[in-house]
């Protein structure tokens, strides 16, 4: 699901958890516990936040590569 705008981690997670995702602008989720966003601290790379283990994983360096990977 794509959001109507960006959310900060503090809009989704409690304050304690949100601190570790500071700088991530979340633009969507898979409705199963994974959020996708841009990491402003890593040249706006596309990242995934997994709420199950509170980890961050870089998915792609750019948004266009991210979209291409979904289409391919």
Distance of alpha carbon 38 from alpha carbon 59, whole angstroms: 10
Give the model's pLDDT for residue 70. Answer: 85
The sign of the CA dihedral 47, 2, 31, 8 is: positive
Q: Say how far apart CA 17 and CA 1 lie, in whole Å.
A: 22
**pLDDT computed for residue 69 by the predictor:** 87
Question: Residue 11: its pLDDT value, please?
Answer: 96
Instruction: Work out the end-to-end distance of the chain between its first and last CA atoms, rounded to an integer number of angstroms.
Output: 19
How is the chain split into domains, by residue range? 2-71
Q: Is the pLDDT of residue 61 over 80?
A: yes
51: nearest Cα among 26, 72, 71, 68: 26
């Amino acid at each position: 699901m794509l959001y109507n705008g960006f959310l900060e981690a503090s809009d989704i997670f409690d304050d304690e958890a949100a601190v570790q995702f500071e700088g991530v602008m979340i633009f969507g989720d898979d409705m199963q516990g994974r959020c996708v966003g841009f990491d402003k601290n890593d040249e706006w790379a596309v990242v995934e936040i997994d709420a199950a283990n509170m980890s961050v994983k870089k998915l792609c360096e750019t948004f266009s590569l991210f979209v291409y990977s979904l289409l391919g």
